[in-house]
Each structure stands twice: as C-alpha cells, then as structure tokens.
C-alpha cells in the first residue's frame, strides 16, 4: 500500500519523563535504594504518539501548553527535533511544565506525575475555526487535563464538524472516578483506543467481553491494546484479533501504547482495513520496547525501517 501523508493534529498533555532503570530494590519509606540508569526524555502519552507519528512520515502538529521553564524549552526542542510542528503549543508564564517520575521494574513500572501546566489547556486553544487543514485529531490522557475533560463532548463535536476523523486514548484516571460519559461522547470518536484495564475500569465490567458489550451501542471502531496478547479490533459487527510481535530485545514498555496508536492511526489515515491498522499498531508497540523511553526506538525513518526488517523480516510501507 502507498501511504498517504495526511495531516495529523495531536491534542494533549506535555511533560518530561525522568526514568530510573535497574533499580536495586523497591523503595521503602525512610530508606534509600539505588538505580543504575537514569534518562531524562520527552514524556507524555500525547507527545510520544506525535513524535513517533512524525518519525513514521506523518505530517504531525501538536496542540498543548507548557510552562515558562527549562522543562518547557526541552519539550519544544525535542518535539521540533522529531519534526513535530509546534505552532499551537502555548507557553504559560508563571506555570511549571509537567514531569513524570518513572520507576521501571522489568515489564512493569510505577509512575508519579506532577501535572503542572496540563490543566491550562482548553478547547479554545484548539484550531477549530472553519474547515480544518488537518485530516485527523488524536486526543490522549484526558483525565490529566481538567480543562479538556470538562468540554470533551463539545471538543469532539467541533472536530467532526470541521471535517476531521477522531481518535481517543483516555489513559488511566489517577482519581479512579472515570468521569467520562461514553454514551454521549463515543459516537463522535472514530477510533477508541483503551487497554484492557482502562476499558474495564471505565465500564465497571468484570470482563473485557462484558466491557465491549457495554460500549458497543456507542462504538464506531475499538482498537483494544492487550499487551503481550496483541490487540483486538471491533467495528460494525466485525471482530478481529491480531497477535503481538515476539522479540528478545526488551528494554522498557514506556510509550508502547502510544507507539501502537501512532502505527494504527498512520494506517487508518491511509484508508487501510482494520486488521492492517492493528498489525502496524502491534509492530510499533513492539519496536518501542527495544529502546529506552517512549521515542528512543524511533529515529530516522530508514533506520527504523531497517531495524524492523532485522527484527521481524517485515518491509515497512513508507510514505
């Protein structure tokens, strides 16, 4: 398939990730432990998805806010280095940029996030005037962004009215209130992209099957991330399971779900069928885990393509 180079608008939070790897023991109050590795890198679900989409050749623009500080400057530099357009990123005087402290333990991790300027982003920051120059809008981590969450239905309606297709990755709700009215909002979401635990928590269902049945009346397309099991797609009665790509080069899983989103949406924007979208999502999620942080495995497009060829013998379709 020849990939189209449609325009993607990513709306969401911006924060740095401070990542500790090879931690000797789990931290205990009153005690100190050591880590053998530390990285400061581009963080946030939305920014990782945007950066990796741009690395895959998608024309990508980010809409968000940062604080007037060194972390904010770092985020803008990193996004621009990754060829993400930042004309809709606003710097807010007197605010601090968000930071997530990540402690990795094998394939699991514990995160602590300081939201900082994230709450200041509202739908009024999003370029919705008239027909959109963008083909698709992707929205992530809405529970960390109270300014977005309160208007999310209207935001999605505005995106559709301006001619964009839409995708949504809610992510985990730190307050565990799950105040997202899926019956009202999902009809305006073309691709809903939770993982299993998020979907069960959102619906209150005991099983993934029951959770899918709960949202099915409001659903357009579901792209459900299932970790090592792969991913499940649901659309208009069609249900397809695509297995994960196996590999031995695991480093960490930071941003693996966001990389899945980047791969899936690249194919979706090009008009691919559901199975091809899921397969590329799985591929990018697996690739993500072969290097540290959310964007470490996504460099030059041709190097990325060669790495995929080496690991899995797959020819990546380039734009």
d(CA 284, CA 267): 12
**pLDDT band for position 4 (cuts 50, 70, 90):** very low
Band (pLDDT 50/70/90 cuts) for residue 301 is confident
Task: List strands edge to edge, sheet with 221-225.
Answer: 85-92, 59-67, 7-11, 136-140, 165-169, 191-192, 221-225, 231-235, 238-242
pLDDT (0 to 100) of residue 108: 75
Task: Give, in words, the CATH class of 7-14+45-98+115-312.
Answer: alpha beta
What's this model's pTM, rounded to 2 decimal places?
0.91
Look-up of token digits 């789990």: 26
30-57 pLDDT, tens digit each? 999 999 999 898 989 999 999 999 999 9
Region of poorest pLDDT, from 112-126, 147-161, 284-298: 284-298
Residue 109 has pLDDT above 90, yes or no: no
Q: What is the average per-residue pLDDT within 118-137?
A: 89
Residue 259 to residue 6: CA distance in whole angstroms: 18
52-89, pLDDT tens digit by residue?
Answer: 999 999 999 999 999 999 999 999 999 999 999 999 99
Q: What percent of the chain has pLDDT over 70?
A: 97
Categorize the per-residue pLDDT at 319 as very low, low, confident or very high, splitting at 50, 70 and 90: low
User: pLDDT tens digit string along 202-242?
Assistant: 999 999 999 999 999 999 999 999 998 999 999 988 899 99
Q: What is the pLDDT of residues 187-203, one digit of tens each?
A: 999 999 999 999 999 99
The pLDDT of 165-182, averaged and rounded, is 95
d(CA 17, CA 289) in angstroms, rounded, equals 16
Stretch 273-284: mean pLDDT, rounded? Answer: 96
Q: Where is pLDDT greater, at 118 or 303?
A: 118
What is the number of other CB atoms lying within 10 angstroms of the CB of residue 105?
14
Contact 120, 64 (CB under 8 A): no
Alpha helix locations (H) across 82-195? Answer: 146-149, 152-161, 182-185
Give the domain ranges of the chain. 7-14+45-98+115-312
Sequence-distant (6+) residues with CB within 8 A of 239 are 232, 233
Residue 3 has pLDDT above 60, yes or no: no
Q: Which pLDDT band, with edges at 50, 70 and 90, does 166 fall under?
A: very high
Q: Residue 96 phi/psi, 5° resolution?
A: -100, 145
Would you say 3 and 270 are in contact if contact means Cβ atoms under 8 Å apart? yes
Round to whole Å and give the CA distance between 54 and 79: 9
Q: How many CA atoms lie within 13 A of 17 on its CB side?
A: 28
What pLDDT band is residue 294 in, cutting at 50, 70 and 90?
confident
Band (2; pLDDT cuts 50, 70, 90): very low
- Which residues touch 145 (CB under 8 Å, ≥6 apart)? 12, 13, 118, 119, 121
pLDDT at 1: 36
């Amino acid at each position: 398939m020849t990939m189209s180079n449609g325009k993607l608008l990513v709306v969401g939070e911006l924060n740095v990730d401070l990542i500790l790897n090879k931690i000797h023991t789990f931290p205990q109050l009153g005690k100190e432990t050591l880590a053998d590795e530390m990285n400061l890198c581009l963080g946030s679900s939305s920014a990782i998805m945007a950066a990796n989409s741009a690395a895959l050749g998608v024309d990508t623009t980010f809409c968000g806010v940062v604080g007037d500080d060194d972390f904010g400057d770092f985020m803008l530099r990193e996004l621009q280095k990754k060829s993400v357009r930042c004309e809709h990123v606003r710097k807010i005087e007197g605010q601090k940029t968000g930071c997530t402290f990540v402690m990795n333990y094998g394939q699991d991790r514990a995160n602590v996030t300081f939201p900082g300027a994230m709450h200041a982003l509202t739908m009024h920051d999003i370029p919705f005037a008239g027909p959109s120059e963008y083909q698709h809008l992707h929205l992530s981590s809405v529970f960390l962004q109270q300014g977005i969450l309160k208007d999310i239905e209207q935001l999605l309606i505005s995106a559709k009215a301006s001619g964009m297709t839409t995708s949504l990755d809610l992510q985990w709700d730190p307050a565990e209130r799950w105040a997202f009215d899926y019956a009202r909002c999902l009809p305006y979401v073309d691709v809903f992209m939770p993982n299993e635990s998020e979907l069960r928590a959102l619906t209150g269902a005991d099983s993934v099957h029951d959770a899918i049945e709960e949202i099915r009346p409001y659903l357009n397309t579901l792209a459900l991330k299932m970790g090592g099991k792969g991913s499940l797609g649901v659309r208009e009665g069609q249900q397809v399971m695509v297995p994960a790509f196996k590999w031995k080069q695991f480093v960490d899983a930071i941003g693996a779900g966001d990389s899945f989103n980047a791969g899936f949406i690249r194919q979706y924007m090009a008009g691919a069928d559901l199975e091809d979208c899921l397969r590329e999502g799985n591929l990018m999620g697996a690739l993500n885990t072969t290097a540290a942080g959310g964007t470490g495995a996504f460099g030059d497009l041709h190097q990325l393509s060669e790495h995929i060829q080496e690991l899995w013998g797959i020819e990546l379709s380039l734009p």
